[in-house]
Amino acid sequence: MKEPSLPFDHRPDPELGAALRAALEPGDPAAFVARVLARAEGRGGHATWEILARWARAGIAAAAAAALVAGFAVGRVMQSPTTLDDVMVASASAGANALLSSPRAPDASVVFTSLVERDR
């Protein structure tokens, strides 16, 4: 059943509010505030702010290290592919080895040369 809408339902009840406030009133506000601020300053001498800042510094360092590693990896991939000369100086079988063992992608001329060697 729907409860009737009563006027007092729309405004705070000062009498009830004051009684509840008195019943719930906490003690010693200054001590509580000091306690919270001390906790915010940190446990064991480590301020929360400093910890947050340290996290930020660690995050920046980690991001820089990751960027360095990524850059190195990309740089290796972007290096010039195995050249025709690399293959020409090797023997016929070594040409295929050079292709397979190289960490770099071969260019089309190397693949072509390798196929020609195989057909000889």
Partner 1 sequence: MRTDPPSQLPGGVARIPQGDEAELAARARAGDRAAFGTLVERFAAQARRVARAVLQNPDDADDAAQDAFLSALVKLDQYDPRRPFGPWLMRIVANAATDRRRRRAVRQTEPLAPELAGGASHPDHDAELRVLGERLRVALAQLPERRRLAVVLFDVEGYSHAEIADILGIPEGTARSEVFHARRALRVLLQDWKEEG
**How crowded is residue 92: how many other Cβ atoms within 10 Å of its Cβ?**
12
Near partner 1 in 45-64, by CB under 8 A: 48-49, 52-53
Measured CA distances, 85 to 65, 82, 106, 110 (Å)? 36, 8, 12, 9
16 binds partner 1, rule: CB under 8 A = yes
Rounded distance between C-alpha atoms, residue 84 and residue 31, angstroms: 80
Least Cβ distance, residue 24 to partner 1 (angstroms): 4
CB nearer to partner 1: pick between 24 and 100: 24
Least Cβ distance, residue 6 to partner 1 (angstroms): 8
Q: Per this entry, what is the length of the chain?
A: 120
DSSP letter at 43 equals: S
Least Cβ distance, residue 103 to partner 1 (angstroms): 43
Helix, strand or coil, per DSSP, at residue 59: helix
Residues at the site binding partner 1, with contacts judged by CB under 8 A: 3, 6, 8-27, 29, 32-33, 35-37, 39-41, 48-49, 52-53
